Amino acid sequence: MVSSLGAGGAERSSAILSRMLVDSGYDVTIVSILDDIVYDYKGNLVNLELLTSSDKGLYKRWRKFVISRKLIRENKFDYVIDAAPRPWWFRQWFINTFVYQKTDTVFIVHSYNIGIYFPDNKFLGKLLYKNAYELIGVSKDAVSHFKKQYGLIKGHCIYNAFDKNRWEMLSKVRLDTPSYEYVLSYGRISEDSKNYSFLIRAYAKSRLPKKGIKLIIMGDGPDKMKIQNLVKELRIENYVVFKGFSDNPFPYVKQALYTTLTSNYEGFPMVLIESLAMGTPVVSIDCKSGPSEVIVTGENGILVLSNKEKAFTEALNKMIEDRAFYQKCKNGTISSVSKFKIENITSQWQAILPPKK
């Protein structure tokens, strides 16, 4: 069960999970609430938005419930994996009770911002997940956070996987990549979560523009205009290049000097894994959660421990000006993410989802 397979880290991870499970011999059906399918997937796709395209309002929502319930009843699935956001307690309780019913259900928590998946009320949170077959968090910090907040016993970390061979193939696709040197940031342009204004201010104060090293921002989102206006205000529009969302960022990632992440919160930022898998070092804020479980300063990039512009600016400069340091980080990129390879993560899902007789 997914909200979509459109733009976003959680959506990309769901698509990868579908391919991983099918390749492992599972019979997979993906139920997408929205008609937003970007990433490659495997399995049977049930697009609820298309199936209810002629319906409106509450009746449309009801039809989606009915179709999902009938699908689960008729197919007698061994497991349901719910990877969609769950911000509305009553709606999710209704789904758990009347749609999933007694099917063993695995709930995935993709973010440290657990308000996307849990109600504020701790009693209701425990009630919502009391019958869960398993709760999966995509980082150790995220798991310990929701277990502590809600007094839950269940909770298991399985990192998002990556397919090295597939990503290498995608990185070789011929795109109109720049001939100039650049650093890269990519993802949904939303200030609440991604904090692009912090990155823009730090970049403007760094020595990168003076050295002719540009900043490429790939992605779209509600705050794109706001960030573009900040770039103009700081008079660095000749150095910051905006490119829209791409379902294949890998040619840009591979060619970048390094990738940056300045999020206020994450779950397990695949941007870091994608970059390191391509041999590109990273500079990241130590937000909750994920970066500290991936980055070791001086070995594959720089983890900035405080959310301070000065410290981040210094990190941007160091990666450019200390060539020996940079090369050591670059040499350590690929080996640092080997534990996240799809073959290593597959066995963890197989342990969670054993065959049923």
Q: Let me know if residue 2 belongs to a domain.
A: no
Q: Are residues 205 and 149 in the same domain?
A: no
Could you tell me if 246 and 305 lie in one domain?
A: yes
Statement to judge: residues 140 and 210 lie in one domain: no
Where the chain has pLDDT below 50, the residues are none
Does 230 fall in a domain?
Answer: yes
- Report the greatest alpha carbon distance in the chain: 66
CATH number of domain containing 228: 3.40.50.2000
Residues 298 and 331 occupy one common structural domain: yes
Considering the domain boundaries, does residue 180 fall inside one? yes
Say if 1 falls within a structural domain.
no
Peptide bond into 139 cis (omega under 30): no
User: Based on the structure, what is the number of domains in the chain?
Assistant: 2
In a domain, 254, yes or no: yes
Is 330 within the bounds of a domain? yes
Q: Are residues 153 and 172 in the same domain?
A: no
> Does 139 lie in the same domain as 53?
yes
Shared-domain flag, residues 268 and 155: no
- Report pLDDT for 165: 83
Counting beta carbons within 10 angstroms of the beta carbon of residue 303, is it exposed (0 to 12), middle (13 to 18) or buried (19 or more)?
A: buried
Residues 138 and 212 in one domain: no
Asked if residue 144 and residue 93 are part of one domain, the reply reads yes
Same domain, 95 and 179: no
Does residue 169 sit in the same domain as residue 79?
no
Q: Do residues 102 and 168 share a domain?
A: no
Q: Which of 249, 306, 305, 308 is nearest to 280 (CA)?
A: 249
Dist CA 117 CA 12 (whole Å): 18
Residue 357 inside a domain? The answer is no
Residue 258 in any domain: the answer is yes
Q: Which domain holds residue 90?
A: 9-161+341-352
Is the CB of residue 309 less than 8 Å from the CB of residue 326? no
